[in-house]
């Protein structure tokens, strides 16, 4: 009987170790691109956007900040005032401002242009973290160039 328990225990420990090092587990826990988000600690829409990134495999860390400190961070990192939103993130050297969809972040990281990053100014209803996509208002995702200019990177029509 002692040998049976030891055998079961060995199998359970081995299975647990295998699961813990499984690539699928790592992906599920955010082993994808690292994203660091500065946000107001009480903002629910920012937290919803972060959840969307985490569900898509991004490794997200957050830093609580607000007001003047957050605005200074945006400005110091090349986000023009007219492009600002509620939260600011950094992903692999790029700035991600506001409720930018995952597909656009992935496209940016794949294409790797020499730019500051992406922005969804304001908080458009139906953008990721801002309500149901089925009720989305039209909005654009802007590519922010190093000279401060911006151009449409992708467009989302109203639902």
CA 101/CA 53 separation, integer angstroms: 9
Tens of each residue's pLDDT in the chain, 159 residues: 445 454 544 433 343 333 333 344 344 445 789 999 999 888 889 999 999 999 999 999 999 998 999 999 999 999 999 999 999 999 999 999 999 999 999 999 999 999 999 999 999 999 999 999 999 999 999 999 999 999 999 999 999
Structure confidence at residue 32 (pLDDT): 87
Structure confidence at residue 11 (pLDDT): 38
CA 86/CA 39 separation, integer angstroms: 7
CA 92/CA 104 separation, integer angstroms: 14
CB atoms within 10 A of CB 72: 11
Q: What are phi and psi of 39, to 5 degrees?
A: -155, 160
Structure tokens belonging to residue 148: 């401060």
The answer to whether the CB of 157 falls within 8 A of the CB of 108 is no
Structure confidence at residue 129 (pLDDT): 96
């Amino acid at each position: 009987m002692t040998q049976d328990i030891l055998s079961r225990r060995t199998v359970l420990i081995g299975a647990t170790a295998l699961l813990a090092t499984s690539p699928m587990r790592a992906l599920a826990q955010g082993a994808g691109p690292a994203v660091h988000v500065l946000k107001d600690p009480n903002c629910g829409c920012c937290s919803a956007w972060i959840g969307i990134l985490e569900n898509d495999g991004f490794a997200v860390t957050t830093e609580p900040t607000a007001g003047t400190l957050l605005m200074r961070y945006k400005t110091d990192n090349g986000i023009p005032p007219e492009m600002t939103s509620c939260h600011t993130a950094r992903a692999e050297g790029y700035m991600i401002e506001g409720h930018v969809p995952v597909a656009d972040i992935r496209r940016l990281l794949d294409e790797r242009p020499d730019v500051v990053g992406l922005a969804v100014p304001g908080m458009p209803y139906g953008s990721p973290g801002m309500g149901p996509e089925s009720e989305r208002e039209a909005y654009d995702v802007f590519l922010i160039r190093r000279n401060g200019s911006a151009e449409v990177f992708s467009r989302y029509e109203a639902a």
